Structure 1
């Protein structure tokens, strides 16, 4: 769950440890964090509906700023045929207008890493509209600064290597099961088999795969994360997407 916060707007250059591997002459992108939380107008008490937004603007990279907002808005959509809200502000207005007591929604974008020519953004969402628990979501943006666009998995892989990649991901899943002492439980494997995911990130230390709840594990397991070492990706991942030094 995201912590509640008052309106805060600040500019900072995220000098994370991951930024130290940026290509020579490539400084980390300056980023502006914009965050606010509003409750339903005229509502009193702890159960008032609320909207919490914690997002990013990249002043020097407008396409990335626009993409972050678009992806966050897509995470609010629980119907493939429903139109997307025009903006985060309009989403907030519509949600609070129709929300019942106890409803809340959270949207967050954060810089996970900046390394080489890449900016890796992690997106999070949480929507609670009654029931035993809310529904969280996760996503990644792998933004290539040289191309000024987000990368799909196919952009990252050598042509013809998709099957090889998912074979490695399946092996990573087996390692995750073993690490969580689930590999000897045949019922668990039947109920929660390996699946593909769209949430793939080019981390500095390894390639990351993150899964939504109820995908390869029950809700109580949260968002399982698999890792594929870059040493296994030779000939599968395009050379330009290996971190410097690998």
Structure 2
């Protein structure tokens, strides 16, 4: 009897073990994520990008006098700025190279047909770069024609042209792009320029120098710039007497500016306030002198605080 009882208990034990083995195993608890995923930063208030080189095709040439041309455009996250800079590049080319309206129209029509076939292979999408290539064609042909004309005159001169944009300030309070250019298109010497463009990224508008100023403060800015001009003339040893120097090169206020770490930079072109030998002069006005001239949002935080503390307390009696 006891033997049968033991056999029964053993059978129950084996059956229980089998049932446990058939139960689905529970998955191990997943480890909790260490940190919640951070949201992607908002880049709409920043100007982020770089210059991209445009494709230039010139006729084959051998020798040391072959023409050279290098053109870049801006490729950034702010399309309105890219389009604006593209237009400025075309305007600079128009000022450097003579393109007749009829020739420009004919060349543009021909280039449109050529680029259209190229764009079709790119899923019929005309990128800003392709569009810019199309608009450049008349100026490239004018550049080649100028080189041919000089060669026909038995000239060994090597003509060259370069335009390239660069981001200087990415934003806060304003984003700044400088358009550097240099060229030699025959003659005694070449030419160069630096043009600054300043943008408010919120309003998507160009910010002029006048827009930086407090009400009725432009005369004060002109006075500060004139003082900086006088210092520049003496330090550069351009003359012993500023009044004598201004008989030939009179001071004027430039609207070509940007906000640097040191202060307000006023950029001048060749022959603006001096002879060719001085290159591209620039005047720097420190922010400490501009506390009551520039609007608060265009002053560095430290200077803005000092300026506000210097104001008289009108609430006290």
Q: State the TM-score, normalizing by the size of structure 1.
A: 0.78
Larger radius of gyration, structure 1 or 2?
A: 2
Aligned: 1:226 with 2:283: yes
Q: Which residue is equivalent to 1:95?
A: 142
Pick from 28, 32, 39 the counterpart of residue 50 of structure 2.
Answer: 32
When residues 91 and 194 of structure 1 are mapped into structure 2, their CA distance, relative to the original with a 3 A threshold, is: farther
Aligned equivalent of 1:239: 296
Deviation, 1:105, is 1.2
| Partner residue in 1 for 2:115 | none
Asked whether the equivalents of residues 103 and 128 of structure 1 are also in contact (C-alpha less than 8 Å), the reply is yes
When residues 128 and 230 of structure 1 are mapped into structure 2, their CA distance, relative to the original with a 3 A threshold, is: same
Using the alignment, how far apart are the partners of 2:219 and 2:265 within structure 1? 17
Q: Output the aligned Cα RMSD.
A: 2.9
Question: Hey, what's the Cα distance between the residues in 2 that align with 1:175 and 1:25?
Answer: 41
Equivalent residue number for residue 192 of structure 1: 249
Does 1:134 pair with 2:190?
yes
Partner of 1:109: 165
- Per the alignment, do residues 91 and 164 of structure 1 end up closer, same or farther by CA in structure 2, a change over 3 Å counting? farther
Query: What is the 5 A alignment of 1:119-198?
Result: 119-185=175-241, 187-198=244-255
Q: Is the 8 A contact 2:224 2:285 kept in 1?
A: yes
* Pair 1:207 & 2:264 matched: yes
Measure how far apart 1:74 and its partner are. 2.2
Q: Which residue of 1 aligns with 2:123?
A: none
For residues 152 and 97 of structure 1, what CA distance do their matches in structure 2 show? 36
Question: Please, which moves more after superposition, 36-45 or 114-123?
Answer: 36-45
Q: In the TM superposition, what is the alpha-carbon distance from 1:219 to its structure 2 partner?
A: 0.8
Instruction: Find out whether 1:216 has 2:263 as its counterpart.
Output: no
| Structure 1 counterpart of 2:18 | none
Q: CA deviation at 1:121?
A: 1.3
Moved more, 143-152 or 84-93: 84-93
Separation (CA, whole Å) in 1 of partners of 2:92 and 2:300:
29
RCO (CA 8 Å, sep 6+): is it higher in 1 or 2? 1
CA contact (8 A) 2:73 2:82 kept: no
C-alpha distance in structure 2 between counterparts of 1:161 and 1:38, whole Å:
47
Q: Tell me, which stretches of 5 or more residues in structure 1 are unaligned?
A: 1-23
Give the conservation status (yes or no) of the 8 Å contact 1:50–1:103.
yes
CA deviations 1:7-53 (Å, max 9, x no partner) are: xxxxxxxxxxxxxxxxx998743203202574631222221222211
- What is the CA deviation profile of residues 113-134 of structure 1, one whole-angstrom value per residue up to 9, with x for unaligned ones? 3352322111111222211111
> Helix, strand or coil: the match of 2:266?
strand
Q: Which has the higher strand share?
A: 1
For residues 25 and 108 of structure 1, the distance between their equivalents in structure 2, rounded to whole angstroms, comes to: 24
Equivalences, count: 221
Does the 8 A contact of 1:127 with 1:134 survive in 2?
yes
